[in-house]
Structure formats: structure tokens, C-alpha cells
Amino acid sequence: MIIDLTDTTSSGIASALLKARRNAGSPAMGMVGTIVVVVDEASHHDAMKAANEAGREHPSRVLVAILRPGKGAPGLDAEVRIGEGVPGEAVLLRLHGELAKVPESVVTPLLLPDSPVIVWWPGGGPRVPAEDPLGRLGRRRVTDAAATRRASVDYSARAEGYAPGDTDFAWTRLTPWRALMAAALDQYPTKVTGAEVSAARGNPSADLMAAWLQSRLKVPVEQRNTCGPGVTAVRLFTPSGPIALTRPDGAVATFSVPGQPDRPVALKRRTTSELLSEELRRLDPDDVYAKTLACMVERDALPAEQKKVDANARKSTAAKVTAAGQKVIEPKKPAPARKTTAKKTVAPKSVAKKAADKRTVAKKAAAKRAVKK
């Protein structure tokens, strides 16, 4: 059911929602929260679609706010959607003129009572989300650094203005990467001498991954540019060889550990609805993200030479490994032969010869005694 409202108010929208639920035969609200989407006219369709798909796992009231500030008269147009593939409720709000400067006055009366509020900016987000008029309403504030129109994200402003509940899709995309690298060190505990992150140029997820590795491992982390898509490889250099997770095609990755065969891992690039669903599963503050932002500021202040991994750190003393992952044992060289002095051996005498010799000796002794007499 779709209800179009022109030049309306928040009270009129709330009445339309109640009427639509009654007509659908479900006056009770079975929703777990409110998702406020701040978007422009060009991309509101994709944003609403992603929010509705995430609502299949977390039924919510989706409020899509399109801000149109200008010199015209203030006004509010709305479109209410219930049913027809919408798991919860969806309201499209178009705020005109001076009303677009105070969007919280329209959104606040439409929030579900006693339930969490998630504010999402698909187009990038403000420099300090917690200070935004709509951001103040949210328990969770989700931005997307990869969608920003600016040349780069001001992480120093994000770090200084961080408030519990802030997060970014660039960080959410790293969840499987971080889980696999942490599991590798749990299964193969060793000393890490350096790390390397390879990704497409200007990828914010690669910046966050490098900062996270540096903050947790306390080693230099080098970044390299590739053709993408997204993050293509993460390597941890150890004395036994590199621990590597490579994904050149954006779908299947190869997990390599020294002394073990390579393993394929499903690591496809996730959709926007999957990223939003993950953020809706956890509404508590992300302390690790806050520490990573602080490390990002420290990395930006470091000279380029200190971000590179030393050549000695890349070397390993591991045994050679075949393509099948089996160690190759090289045969030992034989020890040089020692020079020995041959001893002369005397052939043993026969028994008969020994007896003859004894008789001869006895005769000579008897002859000497006879002469003396």
C-alpha cells in the first residue's frame, strides 16, 4: 500500500501510518527500531531498497529524508509504504525550504518509542556525525567514507569528534578480513616483523586496515596500490614466512600460512544491505574503531619512510615449500672421508706350526743344559 501526502505534517504522516496498518490487518507494530536515512534525490531509491532488504532480518520503520534547502516556502511531502515487499514501514520525506534546515523537527515525532534509532548517510556523511541535527537522534551513526565526494576523508575530524555509536561502512567491510587475520595468529602464533596492505588507490578500508594492524601489532605497516577491486591482499611478515590473505578477483581469497597448504576462502564483496544488517546486529559502541581512528591520525603525521617495511623484516628462514604446501627436505651432503693410517696385520699362525716351534725351543734348552754338565 502506498499513500501519497502533499504539503503535510508529521501528525498527518503518523495518522496515515496507523490507517495503513489497520487496512493491512496488523494494527500492532512488530518493529525493533527506526532507521533514518539521509540521502539526496538521485540515490534515494537504492538507499530505500537496501534498508528494506536489511529490514527482512531486522523489521524497522525506515524514514528516508531528502533535504532540499532553498529560498522557497517551507513544505513537507511524504510517501508512506506498507506491505508490497516492505517488511516494516517505509516513509519517504521531502523537506523543502527552511524546513530542510531543521529536519529533526519532522523526524522526531515519527520515531518509534522505546526503540533504538540508527542514522545512516549513504552519500558519505558529515565531518562530525554526532554533531549533526539528525545524528544527535541516533544511537548508532553510520557513514560511508567510500561514497564521499571529497578527495579524502578527514579522519582527524572523525577522531576528534568521535562519539560512542559512530561507525563507517569502510570499517564494516573489513570484518571478515580482520577475523581471518586474527584467527591466523591464533592458530599459528609467531612474531610479526611487519605488515603490508594492498588495495585500489584511495580505498578508505585499506587505510583503516593498515591503522588497525599497526595499533594491534605495533609494527610498521606499508600500503601498496593495485588495480583492485577494493582490498586485494594483506600480508604479515614473520621469521618463518609471510601469512597472506589475497583476493585479486573480489570473490574468492587464498589463505596462506607457512608450512601449510594454501586454502581458498569465500570472501566476496558484500552488498550495502548486508553491511547495514551487520551494523543493526550490534548497537553498542565500537571501541576498536575508535582506537583505529586515533591510529589513523598518528599514521598521517608519520613520514613516508617510517611507513615502509624494512627489507630484513620481509626475509624468512622457513624451509622451502612446494605448491602443494609440503616442505622440501634437501639431502645432507656426505661428510668428507678421514685419512687413516693402515695398520699392519699379522696373519695368525696355525696350531701345528705353534707346536713345532715349542718343540724346537725345548730341544735347544736341553742341549744347553747338557753342555753345562
pLDDT digits (tens, 9 = 90+) for 215-254: 999 999 999 998 889 899 999 999 888 999 999 988 899 9
Q: Write down the pLDDT at residue 319.
A: 42
Q: Write down the pLDDT at residue 327.
A: 42
Q: Write down the pLDDT at residue 274.
A: 94
Per residue in 52-62, pLDDT tens?
Answer: 888 888 888 99
Cell 585500489 locates to 200
3-state secondary structure (DSSP) of residue 91: strand
Q: Write down the pLDDT at residue 208.
A: 93
Q: Write down the pLDDT at residue 88.
A: 78
Domains in the chain, please, with CATH?
2-168 (no CATH), 175-314 (3.30.360)
Q: Write down the pLDDT at residue 328.
A: 39
Q: Write down the pLDDT at residue 371.
A: 63
Contact indicator for 345, 354 with CB cutoff of 8 Å: no
Could you tell me which residues come within 8 angstroms of residue 118 by beta carbon, excluding any fewer than 6 positions away?
Answer: 33, 34, 35, 36, 60, 138, 139, 140, 141, 142, 279, 280, 283
Rounded Cα distance between 368 and 351, Å, is: 27
pLDDT beneath 50: ranges in the chain: 317-332, 342-347
Cell 515525532 locates to 109
Q: Write down the pLDDT at residue 330.
A: 41
**Sign (positive or negative) of CA dihedral 159, 163, 164, 168:** negative
Rounded Cα distance between 209 and 122, Å, is: 21
Nearest to 200 by CA among 247, 133, 264, 161: 247
Supply the pTM of this predicted model. 0.79
Q: Write down the pLDDT at residue 355.
A: 64
Q: Write down the pLDDT at residue 272.
A: 93
